[in-house]
Structure 1
Amino acid sequence: MKQEKSREILRLAVLLALLRHGVSETDRDFRMCGTWEHGWGSRNLWFDVKKGCETVSVAANASTLSISGSIMGSCENSSSIPLDSAQGNTTHFCVFFDPLLDLLQVEVRGQNHTLCRPAGLQESCCTGLSRIDNKSASEKYGIWNGSIRGDLMNMDRHKIYMFRGENNSCKADLCSEAGEKPEQVDSIEKAVMRSGKMGKTDLPCAQGSVMELKKGSHGLDVTFPPTKREHPKPTPLVHLPPSLVSSGKRSAKVVLTYFSEPTLFQKRGGEERRKERVLKEVVGISVENEVISGLPEPVRITFHHDTVSKNETTQCVSWDTRKDPEVEWRKEGCETIRKFPSETECRCDHLTYFAILVQLKPRVKVPHLVALTYISAVCCAVSVFSCIILIFALTRAQRRSGQDQSSPIHRSLAVALLLLTLLFLLTGVLASLENHSLCIAMGALLHYALLCSFTWMAIEVFNAFWLIYRVLKPLPKHYALNLMGFGLPAGLVILFGSTCDVYGLREIESSDETTIPHKMCWIKNTTSGSLFHYGTNISFLACLVCAGVAMLCLVLRKVQNRTEWKQNRVAFLSLWGLSCLFGSTWGLAFLDFGALSVAVLFLCSILNSLQGFFLMLRFCILEMMRRKSAVADGSSSASTRQHMLQEQEKS
C-alpha cells in the first residue's frame, strides 16, 4: 500500500515537472509511463531516434532504459546518459513526445532529460502513436504498469513496448483543431510560444512572432509580412509599450499572432452575424506566463481596411478566451481612433485578441415623422406669408415714426426668419433630386439662414437690454448690426463649408412602420458634421436661450406692477411675441427626453415654425392698441397705456 502511494506521488511529480518545463498535453502528444524494475548496479538511459514516421520502442533491462525508433520530424540523435544511482530496484519514468514541436523528453525519478529540443513548429509530423506489440519479460527485469496518458495498458512486467504513428500535417491540424471550438484558438498562440523559436512562424491560418521586449526600452513597433504576394495590402501595425515588462524583470517574451481571415473568430448564430461582422484581420498579443491588464500606456494596433459603407461604423473590440469560452467581442478596455475612412487605431489597456467590428450606425428614429413633416410644412407656409406682411408693415411703420432704432432690427429678424422657413420648405424637394452639388449648396444656405436667425435674436436681446436700462450711449449703426447679423454667419458657413465636408444629403428615419426616410439637404451625419453641428448650432442656441429667458424675466419684472399691464388682456400674447423675438421657444428642443418626448416634439415643431406668424400677430395687436390710444389721447389713462405700449414696442 505504501509502495502504491509512492508511485502515485511520483506520477504527479512527473506531470508537474513536464508542465513546469513548458510542456502541454494535446491530442497529438504522446506520454507513456511505467515502473522500471532494474538491478542494483549502475544504470543508464540509451536512445537512438531518427527522422521518419515508422515505429518507436521503449525497452528496459537490468541496467538500461532505451528509446529507439524513427518518429522525429527533423531531429536525429543517439547517445547514452548515465542515471543517478538510487536506493531500491524500481524507478518510475515517463516518455513524452510532442510531434508538433519535435520535442522528445524522458522523465526518470523526477529528473528531466531532453533528447530532442523544440525545433519550431513542424509542417509534417508523426502523430497518433498507438501500441502495436509488446514482449513479456522472461526475467525479473522490465517495465511494470505501463500506461499511455494515464490509461493503464497492463499490470504485467514487459521487456519492450512498441508504438506506430501516422504521418500528418501538424500545422494544418493545429488550425483545424482551433476551429472546432472557439476556446481552443489560443492553442495556436501557446504552440508558437512553446516552440522556443524567436522571430516569425508561419501557419496555414496565422502568422506568429515571438520577440523580446527589454526593460527601459521605448517599446517595439511590429508589422506583419503581407500574406499574399499579389495585390498586397498593409498589415496591422502594433506598438508594444515598455510597461509590458513587469517590475522586477529585465525583459518579457511577447508573442503576436496575426490572423488574416476571421474564420476562427466568427460569432455563432445567423442573426448576430447580420447585425455585426468582424473585419478580416485579428491580432492576438500575450506575454509568456503572465496575464496583462490595466496598462498605464495602452497597446496600439493600427488596422488598415476597406472603406465601410455610409450606414456602418468601425469599433475596436477584444475577446478574452478565459472570460468568454464562446466568441464574445467586447468594447471594454479599448478606445477607437478613426484616423481615416480606411484606417482605425485601437488603444487597449490589456492583452488578448483584437479586431475591428463593423456595426450598423445607431440611427436616431423620430416618432410620428410624417405628421411632424406635414405640420412643419403648413406652419412654415403660414410663417412665410406672415414674415412678408411683417416686413412691409415694419418698413411702413419706420417711415411713419422716423428714427425708431428697433424697427430695422425687427425687420432684419423677419427677413432671416423668412429665408429660414422658405429654405426649409424647399430642402426636401431639392434633396429628392439627388443632385450632390445642389444639395451641398442648399444645406449651406439653410444653415446660413438658421445662424442668421439666431444672430438677429441675439441682437434683439441686446437691444432690449439697451433700451430697458436706458444706457445713454447710442446703439451701433444699423450697417454694423447688419454686418454682424448677416456677415458673421456667412463667414462661418464659407469657412467650414470650403475646408470641411459637412454639408450634403441627410436622411431622417421614422420609428413608425414607414420604411421611406425623410430626405433633406443639411449637415451630414458624420463625425465632422456632428462636431460642426454641436459647435455652431447647439452651443449658440444654448447661449441664446439662456440670454432670452433672462431678458424675458427682466422685461416682466419691469412692467408687471403697472395697472395697465394687469388689465391688458393681450399682455400674455405680447409676452409670447417677445419670447419668439428672443428665441426662447427654441429651448423646447433641450426637453426632448423621457415621457414628454413626443409632446415636446410636436410643441417645438409648431411653435418654432409659427415664429413669423406670432411676431406679425404681436405687431398687429400693438398697432391696434396704439391707434385706440391715439383716439383717447386726452385721457391720462390712455397716455399711460401709450407709454407702456411704446416701451413694449421698443423692447
Structure 2
Amino acid sequence: MSNSSLFSTTISTMKLLSTVVSATLPRTRNTSLTKPVNFTLKHTAEFNLSGTPSCVYWKETDWVTDGCTLIETNSTHSVCSCDHLSTFALIMQTKPSENDHHLDVFSMVAETLGLVFLVLTLLTFALCRKNPRVINTARIQLCISLLLAHFLFLLTQILLKSKSLQPHKLACAVMAGVLHFLFLSAFVWMFIEALMLFIAVKNLSRPKSKQRNFLNWKLLTVVGYMIALFVVGVSAAVVPEGYGSEQCWLKQDKDLKWSFLGPVSFILASNTILFSLIAFSLGYSLAHLNSQVSQIKQTR
C-alpha cells in the first residue's frame, strides 16, 4: 500500500521509510505464528545509518513494535522479523527529542541513587540494634524486592540502549517475567506491612493476654513471595507470548498488563482502607490510654 496517508499517527516525529505491506493467511482468523516470519522492506529513500529504523505493525490508530524486531539494515533495505501477520512498515524517529534524552539521563541517575539508598536502608536494618517486639520482615523484604527490581530494570535499559538485547527474544521475555515478579512482590510486601501495622494498632486497645501474635517471619517470607510467584506463573501459563515487548516488559496487545495492574490496584485500594482504619483505631486507642492528653495531639 503506497498511500501512507491512510496511516496517520499521533507521533509527529515518526517517518515512514518504506511502503506499507500487509500479510494474511486465508481461511483462518489466527494471526500468530509458531515461528517468526522474516521479510525485507525496501527503503523509499536513503537515510543516515547513524539512526536506527524500527519494524512496526499497525494497531488500530498507531504503529507499534510488539512482536517485531529489526534483524539487519543498510542504506537501502531492512530485514524485519515478526511473530504474527499484520500490516507492516519501517519507521524512524526523525528528530529525537532533547527532552526525551534529558528524561532518560534523569531516569538513570534517579535509578542509581535509588539503588544506593536501598542498600543503605538494608545496612541500617542489619547493623542497628533490633527491638524483639518489632518485626521488620516486611520492610526488609520490600527493600530487597525493590533493590533487585530496579537493578534489573537499570541493567535492561542499558542493554536496550546498546542494542544487544533486541535479537535475544527469550532473554528479553525472561527479564520481563522476573521484573513482573519483583515489582509485584514489592506491592505484596507493602500490603503485608500495612496489615501488620493494623494488627499492631488494634493490639494497643487489648490487654496483653488477648493481644494477637504476629506471624512468624519465615511464614511471612514464604507467603509474600508465593503470592507474586503464583500470579506470574498463571500469567506465563495462560499467555506465554505476552512477555518480552520492545522494552522487555509486558506486551500491550496481549492484555497481560492486567496481571500487574489488577493486583496493584487491589493492593492500593486495600492499603487506603487499612490506612483509614489505622488512623481511626490509633486515635481511639490513644485517647483511652491517657485521657489527660489532647486526643488531637496524640493522633498527630
TM-score (ref. length: structure 2): 0.60
Q: SS of 2:249's equivalent?
A: strand
2:252 corresponds to which letter in structure 1?
N
Change over 3 Å in CA distance of 1:312–1:458 after alignment to 2: same
Change over 3 Å in CA distance of 1:305–1:467 after alignment to 2: closer
Structure number with the higher helix fraction is 2
Change over 3 Å in CA distance of 1:544–1:278 after alignment to 2: same
Distance across 2 between alignment mates of 1:419 and 1:402: 27
1:429 aligns with 158
Distance across 1 between alignment mates of 2:232 and 2:145: 15
User: Does the 8 Å CA contact 1:313/1:359 hold for their aligned counterparts?
Assistant: no
Distance across 2 between alignment mates of 1:542 and 1:280: 38
Q: Is 2:220 the counterpart of 1:493?
A: no
User: Does the 8 Å CA contact 1:394/1:410 hold for their aligned counterparts?
Assistant: no
Q: Is 2:295 the counterpart of 1:561?
A: yes
User: Does the 8 Å CA contact 2:184/2:264 hold for their aligned counterparts?
Assistant: no
1:523 corresponds to which letter in structure 2?
L
Change over 3 Å in CA distance of 1:441–1:403 after alignment to 2: same
2:172 aligns with 439
User: Does the 8 Å CA contact 1:503/1:523 hold for their aligned counterparts?
Assistant: yes
Question: Residues 503-540 of structure 1, C-alpha deviation per residue, up to 9 Å, x if partnerless?
Answer: 2242xxxxxxxxxxxxx32123332xx2x211x21111
Q: How many residues align?
A: 219
Question: Residues 14-38 of structure 1, C-alpha deviation per residue, up to 9 Å, x if partnerless?
Answer: xxxxxxxxxxxxxxxxxxxxxxxxx
Question: Residues 465-510 of structure 1, C-alpha deviation per residue, up to 9 Å, x if partnerless?
Answer: 111122732222111111111222223334433561222242xxxx
- Where does the alignment leave 5 or more consecutive residues of structure 2 unmatched? 9-19, 38-54, 62-82, 90-96, 284-293
Greater relative contact order (CA < 8 Å, ≥ 6 in sequence): 2
1:473 aligns with 212
Q: SS of 2:244's equivalent?
A: strand
User: Does the 8 Å CA contact 2:56/2:88 hold for their aligned counterparts?
Assistant: no
Change over 3 Å in CA distance of 1:469–1:524 after alignment to 2: same
Q: SS of 1:504's equivalent?
A: coil
1:504 aligns with 244
User: Does the 8 Å CA contact 1:430/1:438 hold for their aligned counterparts?
Assistant: no
Aligned positions of 1:337-416 closer than 5 A: 341=84, 358=87, 368-397=99-128, 399-405=129-135, 407-416=136-145
User: Does the 8 Å CA contact 1:377/1:425 hold for their aligned counterparts?
Assistant: yes
Question: Residues 59-114 of structure 1, C-alpha deviation per residue, up to 9 Å, x if partnerless?
Answer: xxxxxxxxxxxxxxxxxxxxxxxxxxxxxxxxxxxxxxxxxxxxxxxxxxxxxxxx
User: Does the 8 Å CA contact 1:395/1:411 hold for their aligned counterparts?
Assistant: no
Q: SS of 1:401's equivalent?
A: coil
Q: SS of 2:248's equivalent?
A: strand
CA RMSD of the aligned region, Å?
Answer: 3.8
2:250 aligns with 523
Distance across 2 between alignment mates of 1:417 and 1:272: 45
Distance across 2 between alignment mates of 1:281 and 1:385: 52
Question: Residues 334-362 of structure 1, C-alpha deviation per residue, up to 9 Å, x if partnerless?
Answer: xxxxxx945xxxxxxxxxxxxxx9488xx
Shift of 1:450: 0.4
Aligned positions of 1:187-586 closer than 5 A: 270-272=3-5, 311-313=57-59, 341=84, 358=87, 368-397=99-128, 399-405=129-135, 407-431=136-160, 432-433=163-164, 434=166, 435-470=168-203, 472-497=211-236, 500-506=240-246, 520-527=247-254, 530=255, 532-534=256-258, 536-557=259-280, 558-559=282-283, 561-563=295-297, 566=300
1:414 corresponds to which letter in structure 2?
C
Distance across 2 between alignment mates of 1:556 and 1:271: 59
2:131 corresponds to which letter in structure 1?
S
Change over 3 Å in CA distance of 1:274–1:533 after alignment to 2: closer
Distance across 1 between alignment mates of 2:105 and 2:183: 20
Q: SS of 2:241's equivalent?
A: coil
Distance across 2 between alignment mates of 1:448 and 1:420: 9
Change over 3 Å in CA distance of 1:491–1:358 after alignment to 2: same
Q: SS of 1:374's equivalent?
A: helix
TM-score (ref. length: structure 1): 0.30
Question: Residues 300-353 of structure 1, C-alpha deviation per residue, up to 9 Å, x if partnerless?
Answer: x856889797523489xxxxxxxxxxxxxxxxxxxxxxxx945xxxxxxxxxxx
Distance across 1 between alignment mates of 2:212 and 2:122: 28
- Where does the alignment leave 5 or more consecutive residues of structure 1 unmatched? 1-265, 283-300, 316-339, 343-356, 361-365, 507-519, 567-651
Q: SS of 1:473's equivalent?
A: coil
User: Does the 8 Å CA contact 2:149/2:182 hold for their aligned counterparts?
Assistant: yes
Shift of 1:371: 3.5
Shift of 1:392: 2.0
Structure number with the higher strand fraction is 1
Question: Residues 101-145 of structure 1, C-alpha deviation per residue, up to 9 Å, x if partnerless?
Answer: xxxxxxxxxxxxxxxxxxxxxxxxxxxxxxxxxxxxxxxxxxxxx
Question: Residues 130-170 of structure 1, C-alpha deviation per residue, up to 9 Å, x if partnerless?
Answer: xxxxxxxxxxxxxxxxxxxxxxxxxxxxxxxxxxxxxxxxx
Identity score, percent: 16
Distance across 2 between alignment mates of 1:423 and 1:271: 39
Shift of 1:375: 2.6
Question: Residues 207-266 of structure 1, C-alpha deviation per residue, up to 9 Å, x if partnerless?
Answer: xxxxxxxxxxxxxxxxxxxxxxxxxxxxxxxxxxxxxxxxxxxxxxxxxxxxxxxxxxx8
Question: Residues 565-617 of structure 1, C-alpha deviation per residue, up to 9 Å, x if partnerless?
Answer: 65xxxxxxxxxxxxxxxxxxxxxxxxxxxxxxxxxxxxxxxxxxxxxxxxxxx
Change over 3 Å in CA distance of 1:359–1:442 after alignment to 2: closer
User: Does the 8 Å CA contact 1:314/1:358 hold for their aligned counterparts?
Assistant: no
